[in-house]
Every structure is written in structure tokens, then in C-alpha cells.
Amino acid sequence: MEDRWLTVDEICKYLSITNETIYKWIEQRGMPGHRVGRCWMFKQDEVDGWARTGGAADQADKPSSAEGGS
């Protein structure tokens, strides 16, 4: 059953964040989600992999390409 699709509400509970954050991450940080009609659906393993590679990290935690220049 680990391969089932999760709704926005379910992924919010799983990550302990708000649905507003989910939609912001989809738009601004490339969170892996799939649009099915008007609904967003998620695969838990895709979201886990995205988070592990730093997709959910605060922008302040990520190195900026503008840093280090003269």
C-alpha cells in the first residue's frame, strides 16, 4: 500500500505543514506533485526524495548563485 497516491491534506499531515506551504513549494521549489483534474496528488517516495535532496530547505539554507562574486 505504500505506492498509493496522497492528497494535499494527507501530504500536509505527513510533513506537518499547511496546504498553503504545499502550493508554494509546488510553484517555487519544484515539489513533485501531479495534477489530476483540479486536485494535486503526491507519491510519498517522490516527496521524500525531493526533501532529502534539499528541496524543502529554507532559501537561506541554500547557497545562492549570487554569493561569492565581486
In a domain, residue 69? The reply is: no
Position 44 scores a pLDDT of: 94
Q: Tell me the average pLDDT across 54-70.
A: 61
Angle at 41 between CA 43 and CA 52, to 5 degrees: 40
Identify the CA nearest to 40 among candidates 49, 31, 53: 31
Dihedral sign of CA atoms 26, 47, 49, 46 in order = negative
What's the number of domains the chain is made of?
1
CATH, residue 36: 1.10.10
Domain of residue 22 covers 5-55
Q: Tell me the average pLDDT across 9-14.
A: 96
Position 10 scores a pLDDT of: 97
Position 62 scores a pLDDT of: 53
Residues written for the chain: 70
Tens digits of residue pLDDT in 27-44: 999 999 999 999 999 999
